[in-house]
Structure 1
Amino acid sequence: MSNDISSLHPVGVWKHFQRIARIPRPSGGEARIREFVVGFGASLGLETIVDDAGNVIIRKPAVAGMEDRVGIILQAHLDMVPQKIGGIEHDFENDPIEAVVDGEWVRASGTTLGADNGIGVAAILAVLESPAPRHGPLEALFTANEENGMSGAFGLRPGLLGGGILLNLDSEDEGELFIGCAGGLDATVKFDFEGKPLPLGYNGFVLTVGGLSGGHSGMDIHLGRGNANKIMNRLLQHGRQCHGLLLSSVEGGSLRNAIPRESSARVAVPRAGGEAFLQETAALAETINNECSATDPELSIAIEKTVVPSRIVDESAFAGLLEAISACPDGVVRMSGEIPGLVETSSNLAVVRSADGFVTVECLLRSSADSALQELGTRIGDLFRSAGASVVLDGGYPGWKPNPESRMLGIMRRVYRDCFGKVPALKAVHAGLECGIIGATYPKLDMVSFGPTIRHPHSPYEKVDIASVEKFHIFLEQVLASAPTVLS
């Protein structure tokens, strides 16, 4: 295995990706990557601006003879999802990502790689820098905070962009062109509880769930992978019902758009039943491991004795929390009746976290049907409110309705066939591409999304296929050279 990706092809893309990977850029912490991109545009003498939402726009004039082509906007997002394997020391606010070559793939060591969407950013920088590709008027749009609310896309003002075509470089299957995406909605739940002193006669334990595969809560939700919060809830329910378990604290998951991989809970169990609790919980853990063996072979469930906690969640709030999480939809809710194999509606029970006096539960809901999204939000809201919690539904963003008659789509299908001898597949994606939001502000844009092959995004196992990056780059350059003079 080698840390040197500079010799990979296309050299320009990998050169820029290596630089980008070494710049910390978690969602909401894009200052350094924004500064880098702004400096890059200025170094080329190109018009470069930063808007009020933190987006960067760089404009490159058409090459000679291409001035009459419809302007193209190349779009990618600056931030990445920070996820790491338990035990790995990595500060995403300050530490660089070390990208390594591993056979036919590039990956990181124990953390997310940031190919989502660093490869898209790198490809745009390569186009801006190179004199080789033929193209009409170009605008490079680098959006902020895509992974944690899409605030950059939401803050994009009308009239700022002049192009008629938007190519989103944030898809993850080479050879497929995406023309639609799901909308999303955040559900934030809060259980207030009275912290009580723990009575005498209890032992303290820590339950941990780890090693799950995790992944993107849109792209991977159909794979049926284990959810650490659901598994922990099952362990806690059994302990409470059978052994009088009491909860002191719980912390599971970290990001709404990542399937939760880890959870830990500090609990107390009556001393007289401690050995039975250990034996039966170990047996339940083995059962869960067997159930998840196909999707999560590295799942680990551990029980360790610890100091006795001083305070616990009151019994009523604890019972309501467990029952509501147990009943909360998680995973695929409904498959699309129009596009075979596409998830229509889903829920990711992403975060369960206690603090002083309350427990917060966060879910990300997705659907390509606005009515189904609202209905799911109502259902989850009613469920948690009936358990005594407060619920806020916000952060909603629109989906992107497919347009199979798109002029640019037809051109891109022909270009791909000419380059690689086959017609690319047309897809919609069960994830929140920024196209839906940008399209709401710029409704006349002709939009298509594509990218190289990336596996396990939003997880520490993220990797990008080397050969697909070269095909992606070749295709991008040929598409730019084939821009039409009119869209109608």
Structure 2
Amino acid sequence: MLSSLTPKTLWKIFSDICLIPHPSHHEQMITKYVLDLAAQHNIKAELDKTGNILLTKAATKGMEHYPSIALQAHLDMVPQKNAETEHDFLVDPIQAYVDNEWVKAKGTTLGADNGIGLASALAVLIDPTVEHGPLEVLLTVAEETGMFGAFGLQPDWLKSKYLINTDSEDEGEIFTGCAGGVEFQQHLTITYATIPTHHNIYVELALKGLKGGHSGCDIHLGRGNAIKLLTRFLTDLGVDIDYRLSDFTGGSLRNAIPREAFATITLNDADYNKLQTLMANYESTIKNEYAIAEPTLVFTHKKCLPEQVKRVIAFDYQQKIIDWLNTAPNGVVRMSEQNGNVVETSLNLGVVNIKNNKVVANYLIRSLLDSAKDAVVSQLISHSQLVNLEYAISGTYPGWQPDPHSKLLALVKGKYQELFSAKAKVMVIHAGLECGLFKKPYPDVEMVSIGPTIVSPHSPDEKVNINSVKRYWDLLLATLKAAYQLKND
């Protein structure tokens, strides 16, 4: 039981959160939970027009003179599941469980990103043993799909001059900066044709078992992109077999590395055995290439019934789709010169699907440098024009520039050293954090981001280290208790 873990209040709240469906843009139930919890504990709660929540609590007796601190988390989670897992994220609870030193979920994302941060902020508010000065808790909506809550944050709402973001995923590291990002979409309107009369075999190809992961935190780990790997096979398959493409889909979120991709094809009976041989050879090849990064990769197929495949994509468009996806850029573009072993610029081809006669591909571009981000956008525009695709650019969000002279940073570093007799690493992160957006309505607020160790966020392999949650909690409480050090001289 999660509620038996320490700190008990935090884990009890996280256990509650797991029972409440809260994917992005469906935060109504988790919002009600938070507002009900606030009412039960006489905590002031406000809701803005975007759906963000601001909770405020007076200081612990004797700490009224402390400067106000805001804790910040987001309400939504990434809804990812394995293909064989039966789960409706709008209805079903997350099945969280303890596995040795980790908390995991059965076949789905756990939602520790940012559920642990959310639970910690609420636990600070309701736990009577926690000592703190004036406190604000800011909870935003739809962070995972474009930071809509942070974009809609109104000025003059927060009163704190210091903010602790709880959305980072490496205990022992203090984040003081992050990448900015932009979404890029390519799309192609296609026509269909009848299935060739000599094609009497219908097959769904499935490339599965990849790790996936967060396109910011995990993009440098060399993991396979299922869309790219399946397209590679289809490109080579056309040299050996006369096949026709009926459908293609891969990935589900622009900020998650695709773990699975599927294609439905038709072919004649004489080529079916050859297809199986080519698939086995390709599976062996990519298992060799990704032996360490993707040990559970599998490439399978199943026959479809005739009534399941009623048409194919016109051959000219089939070739265009395959060429487009095969040449689509993806992955790390450049490592940072200024920030050590951190990715500077990357792009993730996160989603491809075909709906209403239109093939759509969604990318998320990230960079610590606006100029480098713009260069990747320019590259994708050129790529689109070469393949005669339409494109759209949206969802641009800024990076967060480090402030090495921050008093809040100095305080958190000092408390970490005192608690654990070790130096915390001061880092920038390639993933996007809402802190960059907060700087527009609140340019003078000092911010840091801390959190527990979360492995493989945005994938069903997501897990959070139990001991790191306790260390994160201790650091958070020690920082709040010592916040008098932030007072102006």
1:486 matched to 2:487? The reply is: yes
Note the alpha carbon deviations across 1:273-317, whole angstroms, 9 max, x for none. 333233223212221122112111111101233235331112222
Tell me what 1:222 maps to: 220
Note the alpha carbon deviations across 1:85-111, whole angstroms, 9 max, x for none. 221111110111121110011111111
Q: What letter corresponds to residue 312 of structure 1 in structure 2?
A: V
Counterpart-to-counterpart distance in 2, 1:355 and 1:408: 49
Pick aligned residue for 1:194 from 184, 191, 195: 191
1:328 matched to 2:325? The reply is: no
Note the alpha carbon deviations across 1:384-411, whole angstroms, 9 max, x for none. 2321211001101000011111111011
Shift of 1:46: 1.6
Q: After the TM superposition, which residues 42-57 of structure 1 pair with which residues of structure 2 at under 5 Å, given as runs?
A: 42-57=39-54
Pick aligned residue for 2:271 from 273, 276, 286: 273
Q: After the TM superposition, which residues 89-100 of structure 1 pair with which residues of structure 2 at under 5 Å, given as runs?
A: 89-100=86-97
Counterpart-to-counterpart distance in 2, 1:427 and 1:232: 35
Q: After the TM superposition, which residues 286-325 of structure 1 pair with which residues of structure 2 at under 5 Å, given as runs?
A: 286-308=284-306, 309-325=309-325
Counterpart-to-counterpart distance in 2, 1:54 and 1:386: 42
Tell me what 1:237 maps to: 235
Shift of 1:485: 4.7
Q: What's the Cα RMSD here? A: 1.3
Tell me what 2:74 maps to: 77
Runs of 5+ in structure 2 lacking a partner? none
Note the alpha carbon deviations across 1:104-148, whole angstroms, 9 max, x for none. 111111111111111111111111002222222111001101111
Tell me what 2:258 maps to: 260
Note the alpha carbon deviations across 1:234-280, whole angstroms, 9 max, x for none. 11111223212211011110011111001111111244433323322
Q: What letter corresponds to residue 34 of structure 2 in structure 1?
A: V
Tell me what 1:473 maps to: 473
Tell me what 1:429 maps to: 429
Shift of 1:189: 1.1
Q: Find the residue that maps to 2:98 and give its secondary structure.
A: strand
1:15 matched to 2:16? The reply is: no
Q: What letter corresponds to residue 206 of structure 1 in structure 2?
A: E
Tell me what 1:379 maps to: 379
Note the alpha carbon deviations across 1:16-49, whole angstroms, 9 max, x for none. 1101111110111110000100111111112101
Counterpart-to-counterpart distance in 1, 2:131 and 2:88: 41
Q: Report the more deviating stretch, 292-301 or 234-243.
A: 234-243
Counterpart-to-counterpart distance in 2, 1:117 and 1:357: 36
Tell me what 2:391 maps to: 391
Sort the Cα spacing of 1:359 and 1:122 in 2 relative to 1 into closer, same or farther, 3 A.
same
Q: 8 Å contact 1:70–1:487 — kept in the other structure?
A: no
Note the alpha carbon deviations across 1:413-467, whole angstroms, 9 max, x for none. 1111111111211011110111111122211110000001111111111111111
Counterpart-to-counterpart distance in 1, 2:2 and 2:274: 53
Tell me what 1:456 maps to: 456
Q: 8 Å contact 1:243–1:270 — kept in the other structure?
A: no
Q: Find the residue that maps to 1:131 and give its secondary structure.
A: coil
Tell me what 1:419 maps to: 419
Tell me what 1:111 maps to: 108
Q: What letter corresponds to residue 176 of structure 2 in structure 1?
A: I
Q: Find the residue that maps to 1:441 and give its secondary structure.
A: coil
Counterpart-to-counterpart distance in 1, 2:128 and 2:303: 64
Runs of 5+ in structure 1 lacking a partner? none
Shift of 1:487: 5.2
Q: What letter corresponds to residue 239 of structure 1 in structure 2?
A: L
Counterpart-to-counterpart distance in 2, 1:254 and 1:399: 24
Pick aligned residue for 2:181 from 179, 184, 188: 184
Tell me what 2:443 maps to: 443
Percent pairwise identity: 43
Q: 8 Å contact 2:408–2:486 — kept in the other structure?
A: no
Counterpart-to-counterpart distance in 1, 2:441 and 2:243: 52
Q: 8 Å contact 1:120–1:451 — kept in the other structure?
A: yes
1:60 matched to 2:57? The reply is: yes
TM-score relative to the length of structure 1: 0.97
Q: 8 Å contact 1:239–1:281 — kept in the other structure?
A: no
Pick aligned residue for 2:153 from 138, 146, 156: 156
Counterpart-to-counterpart distance in 2, 1:172 and 1:134: 25
